[in-house]
Structure 1
């Protein structure tokens, strides 16, 4: 009896020890670069948690969390458009308790977009972290009036236009026509009617296109040489060119840049939920968010990060984006499966047209 009592006590102490370790450890599933060593060390000193990082991408995150039904990690960082459909099927995330997030420190339009685009029934499942955009890369000296995606169809720039034959071009041109394609996602028939019109516009303006780019480095070379003066491209590409030649720059289109957001989400069986909220709030503190942006180049949802940015990076954001431009970004929502086939057929039609 005495031996059994001793053994029971030993097992209880072992269990408590394991629980303590679990509580002291924060396991993060994230992209490379999203948890800089310097910030991890700063967080560990501030909170006492021991951080363990596993690097991944959207597909692997989903696979890992599906396999464990949401166990094994306390924080994950999927893109906002890869959450709601997965959550509906597999229930791998916890609903976010926004009362535990310092929402006053966030860009309101980004928080609202993520709440909306990760909503399942009455709950939302993510907090915005970082973002990037596509829009126009313009030679402002040679194409000073290129302010929206409609410039990709403009005879004024004939022979000096480039874009990818991909869905962002369809989406961008639709917005420039005064439509909101994302609002038509729930009606495939309406979406197809809109995109039929966009495809006709692209076919009509095809003689003005220098090429359909597929390699980003090749596009930048065409812009450097002025063979192309208006292109659809990404923000960092435009800023890289601006550093070399002030006439070249990224322009947020009048109808709104197209944006992706990577988020913070909490897996369904997270063991250290308190630590997860602590990490999310820590990474969105202005100085910490600015450190990430200075290191990786992506903007963040932290409202006050700009004042801590390196001058060159701060200038890039302020030159290309007013506050109104940030609030006007069209954030990608989840794509219904049937729409991808509609887009694919239309893009093939544009490519094959004479």
Structure 2
């Protein structure tokens, strides 16, 4: 999968006129049933829910989750019942299809002209399974290096995942277990120290175990340098606020929110490539209010709704025209975080099939308990 901010911006500019078209209300669907949204913590604000209701007449409630695994486990426990719309990352969608937890979209009911063309093409790997589209792209972001500009010892122009483990950062590192292993893997791969290309880890168990045995050994050797492991956005921010972290491998939103509060935190992509992901709207198998789901997706694919999402999260919306409505501080954060070369060098998460996720969690558990 290949996708860059430059492609997003180019798509948005080409579609400027379409983005300005008015939002049409489908009154027949208004306010008959409540829309139940299950999405990442911090993604849906009260202002967004109020705007959605004002424009459609539909009441919506929001329940947050913190990880992809939490989302998957919740849906498996209820056999795809309990919510009308979810927001997984695109690399996890085939797993939901394998477990028969989601339903394909009726693509004729989505106003795709409000979604960036590059997001549509970029989400075909994972979002389209057996010729059926399950995924309406909503946003994308990265996981890279956040660091304290006064205390971290780094060269912003020559960052590496290996910089996390500089002796000067002892006791001040914050990472997420499973993605830290991937960051270490990219660092080792660039030095020629993995037995197979890292991407082969996602293709078969033999290559995965061979690579991750090497990765885990290096990770455990440096584990004593860690101030805090994180698994949710709040935990990642807390590591810097209160638990002594001065550098970490975090989501872009972590640095964005800390910087917004006045903390001296910068965010940069390492030379091995920032870990990039895309999220989107998916309908659970037993959704109770499918009509309202399509109203919500079409509401989101407007510049105003997309901009509200970006202001809340710091991530990048796939709604055409949203970027033109963003505050200058948000635009500046993006410009400072990525060079044009960084955007060309994004490392997109491969499809994570259930067998890989199980093994990944096994290695993560061994890392955390070592």
- What is aligned with 2:161? 149
Q: Does 1:51 align with 2:58?
A: yes
Q: Does 1:130 align with 2:148?
A: no
3-state secondary structure, aligned to 2:331: helix
Equivalent positions of 1:107-186 (< 5 A) are 108=118, 110-140=119-149, 142-145=153-156, 147-154=159-166, 157=168, 159=170, 162-164=173-175, 166-176=177-187, 177-178=189-190, 181-186=198-203
- What is aligned with 2:354? 336
- What is aligned with 1:314? 331
Equivalent positions of 1:1-354 (< 5 A) are 25=32, 27-30=34-37, 31=39, 34-40=43-49, 42-43=51-52, 46=55, 49-56=56-63, 57=65, 58=71, 59-61=73-75, 63=77, 66-67=80-81, 73=84, 75-90=85-100, 92-95=102-105, 97=107, 100-102=110-112, 105-106=115-116, 108=118, 110-140=119-149, 142-145=153-156, 147-154=159-166, 157=168, 159=170, 162-164=173-175, 166-176=177-187, 177-178=189-190, 181-203=198-220, 205=222, 209=225, 211-214=227-230, 216=236, 219-221=239-241, 229-243=246-260, 248-267=265-284, 276-322=293-339, 325-326=342-343, 328-331=346-349, 333-337=351-355, 339-341=357-359, 344-345=362-363, 348=366, 352=370
Distance in 1 (CA, whole Å) between partners of 2:91 and 2:221 is 32
Q: Is the 8 A contact 1:199 1:347 kept in 2?
A: no
The two structures, once aligned, show a CA RMSD in angstroms of 4.0
Q: Is the 8 A contact 2:172 2:247 kept in 1?
A: yes
Assess, with a 3 A threshold, how the Cα gap between structure 1 residues 345 and 78 changes in structure 2: closer, same or farther.
closer
Distance in 1 (CA, whole Å) between partners of 2:349 and 2:62 is 25
Deviations 1:145-167 (A, max 9, x none): 55121212445x45365133611
3-state secondary structure, aligned to 1:249: strand
Assess, with a 3 A threshold, how the Cα gap between structure 1 residues 63 and 322 changes in structure 2: closer, same or farther.
farther
Q: Is the 8 A contact 1:196 1:346 kept in 2?
A: no
Assess, with a 3 A threshold, how the Cα gap between structure 1 residues 91 and 66 changes in structure 2: closer, same or farther.
closer
Assess, with a 3 A threshold, how the Cα gap between structure 1 residues 40 and 169 changes in structure 2: closer, same or farther.
closer
Alpha-carbon distance, 1:324 to partner: 5.5
Larger radius of gyration: 1
Higher alpha-carbon deviation: 284-293 or 88-97: 88-97
Q: Is the 8 A contact 2:52 2:299 kept in 1?
A: yes
TM-score by length of structure 1 reads 0.71
Alpha-carbon distance, 1:83 to partner: 3.0
Deviations 1:37-60 (A, max 9, x none): 5445545555xx431324334244
Distance in 2 (CA, whole Å) between partners of 1:267 and 1:338 is 22
Alignment size in residue pairs: 321
Gaps of 5+ in 1: 1-19
Assess, with a 3 A threshold, how the Cα gap between structure 1 residues 168 and 299 changes in structure 2: closer, same or farther.
same
TM-score by length of structure 2 reads 0.69
Higher alpha-carbon deviation: 261-270 or 248-257: 261-270
Alpha-carbon distance, 1:170 to partner: 0.7
Assess, with a 3 A threshold, how the Cα gap between structure 1 residues 248 and 107 changes in structure 2: closer, same or farther.
farther
Gaps of 5+ in 2: 1-26, 66-70, 191-195
